[in-house]
C-alpha cells in the first residue's frame, strides 16, 4: 500500500484496475474503475462487503450520465444536478447496459454522484473514467473521514490518496429519481426541505422492484464501532466505569466519564455531522474505554441524517 499525494500515480492505478482510497467532501471513498468488473470486485473483497450492497459511481462532468443512465433520462435529473452538483447528492436512476451488474448488485438502477472535493475531482479527471466508490471502511463499521481511519480498517488497497480535508463528515443524501419525482433512500446533509424546492418528493420509491433490497443504506445496523455504543438517556448523570461519552454541546460536566468527545460547543448540526465519525473512531481507539454513550440530536434538518447514523451505530445494543 502506498500512502501519498500523487494524483497521476493514483489515476494510473485506477486505469490499470487497482484500488485507490481518496477523500471526498462526505467521507473517504474506496475507488475502482466503474466499468471494469474485475476492479470493482476488489472493492467488495477489500471491504468484505456483501454483494447485495451496490456502489455509488462518481463522475466529474454532467455528460457522463448519458453513458450511465438509460434513456429516457428523467428531466428531474438535470434539475437536481443544477441545484446540488457538484455536491453531496447521489442520484439513483434506471441504468444503461454499460454499467456492470456487480456495481449495482444486480439492480436495474445505478447510483451516481458528482463530488465537489478538489482531490476527488482531480483524481476523476486524471483517471479519465467514472469511479465506483463506497465508503472506505470495512462493511458495517465506522465510515472514515481521515486517511488514518482507512488504513486502520483496510489493508488490500493499492494507494491511499492524501488531500484536502473531508468537510461534511457523513455520507451523501441518496435519492431515487423517475418522472414522478424523487424519494429519499438515505438522509444526508442535503435535506428533504432542500430537495422539495427543486423536485416533487414521492411517498414511495418510483424505481422499486419487488423483492429487491432497494437501498442497502436502509440496513438496521451500520456505521458501528467495535465496542458497545448506547444512546444516552437524558436522565442519566453518572456513567458506569470505563465509559466514553459523545456529546454535542459543552453544557454539562461529565466527570464520571473516562473520555469525552464534544462534537460541537453549541449544538451546531453541520459541525456535529462533520465530527461524528471522528468521535466514533476516537472512542473505538481508546483502550481505556469499554462502552460508549452518545447523546441524541433533535430529528429535524440535518439532524435526521445525524440520527440515522447514530441509530444504526447503537442498533445492536438497544
C-alpha cell at 180: 414522478
**Shortest Cβ 159–ligand AMP spacing (Å):** 19
Q: Which CB atom, from 135 or from 215, has the smaller least distance to Mg ion?
A: 135
Which x/- pattern, by CB under 6 A, does the window 172-211 give for ligand AMP? --x----------xx-------------------------
Q: Is 153 a residue that touches Mg ion (CB under 5 A)?
A: no
Shortest Å, Cβ 152 to ligand AMP: 17
Per-residue contact flags (x/-) with ligand AMP for residues 115 to 134, judged by CB under 6 A: -------------------x
Q: Are strands 28-33 and 131-132 parallel, antiparallel or unpaired?
A: antiparallel
Residue 181 neighbours by CB distance under 10 Å: 18
Q: Which three cell numbers stand for residue 197?
A: 424546492
**Strands of 243-247's sheet in order across:** 229-231, 291-294, 243-247, 259-262
> Pick from 60, 43, 175: which is nearest to 117 by CA?
60
As measured in angstroms, the least distance from the Cβ of 111 to ligand AMP is 3
One residue of 24, 26, 135, 291 binding Mg ion per CB under 5 A: 135
Cβ–Cβ < 8 Å for 261, 246? yes
Restricting to residues 66-95, which ones interact with ligand AMP according to CB under 6 A? 92
CB of 66 closer than 8 Å to CB of 39: no
Q: Which of 43, 91, 107, 142 binds ligand AMP (CB under 6 A)?
A: 107
Q: Let me know: does 59 contact 115? Beta carbons within 8 Å.
A: no
In whole angstroms, how close is the CB of 194 to ligand AMP at the nearest point? 19
Q: How far is CA 44 from CA 47, 92, 187, in A?
A: 5, 20, 23
CA-to-CA distance for 66 and 52, rounded, in angstroms?
A: 25
Shortest reach from residue 235's CB to ligand AMP, in Å: 34
User: By the criterion CB under 6 A, which residues form the site for ligand AMP?
Assistant: 53-56, 92, 104, 107, 109-111, 134-135, 171, 174, 185-186, 214-217
Amino acid at each position: 500500500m502506498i500512502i501519498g499525494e500523487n494524483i497521476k500515480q493514483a489515476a494510473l492505478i485506477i486505469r490499470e484496475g487497482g484500488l485507490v482510497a481518496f477523500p471526498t467532501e462526505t467521507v473517504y471513498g474506496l475507488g475502482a474503475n466503474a466499468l471494469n468488473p474485475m476492479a470493482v470486485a476488489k472493492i467488495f473483497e477489500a471491504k468484505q462487503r456483501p454483494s447485495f450492497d451496490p456502489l455509488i459511481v462518481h463522475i466529474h462532468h454532467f455528460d457522463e450520465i448519458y453513458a450511465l443512465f438509460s434513456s429516457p433520462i428523467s428531466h428531474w435529473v438535470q434539475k437536481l444536478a443544477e441545484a446540488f452538483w457538484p455536491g453531496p447528492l447521489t442520484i439513483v436512476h434506471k441504468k444503461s447496459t454499460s454499467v456492470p451488474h456487480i456495481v449495482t448488485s444486480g439492480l436495474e438502477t445505478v447510483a451516481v454522484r458528482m463530488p465537489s472535493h478538489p482531490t476527488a475531482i482531480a483524481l476523476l479527471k486524471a483517471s479519465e473514467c467514472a469511479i465506483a466508490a463506497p465508503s472506505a471502511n470495512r462493511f458495517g463499521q465506522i465510515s472514515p473521514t481521515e486517511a488514518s481511519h482507512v488504513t486502520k480498517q483496510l489493508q488490500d488497497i493499492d494507494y491511499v490518496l492524501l488531500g484536502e480535508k473531508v468537510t461534511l463528515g457523513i455520507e451523501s443524501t441518496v435519492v431515487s429519481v423517475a418522472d414522478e419525482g424523487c424519494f429519499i433512500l438515505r438522509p444526508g446533509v442535503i435535506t428533504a426541505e432542500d430537495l422539495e424546492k427543486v423536485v416533487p418528493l414521492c411517498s414511495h420509491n418510483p424505481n422499486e422492484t419487488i423483492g429487491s433490497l432497494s437501498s442497502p443504506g436502509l440496513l438496521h445496523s451500520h456505521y458501528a464501532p467495535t465496542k458497545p455504543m448506547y444512546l444516552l438517556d437524558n436522565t442519566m448523570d453518572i456513567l458506569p466505569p470505563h465509559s466514553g461519552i459523545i456529546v454535542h454541546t459543552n453544557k454539562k460536566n461529565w466527570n464520571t466519564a473516562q473520555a469525552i468527545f464534544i462534537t460541537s460547543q453549541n449544538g451546531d448540526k453541520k459541525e456535529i455531522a462533520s465530527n461524528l465519525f471522528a468521535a466514533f473512531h476516537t472512542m473505538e481507539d481508546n483502550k481505556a474505554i469499554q462502552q460508549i454513550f452518545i447523546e441524541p440530536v433533535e430529528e429535524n434538518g440535518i439532524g435526521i441524517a445525524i440520527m440515522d447514523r447514530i441509530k444504526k451505530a447503537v442498533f445492536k445494543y438497544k
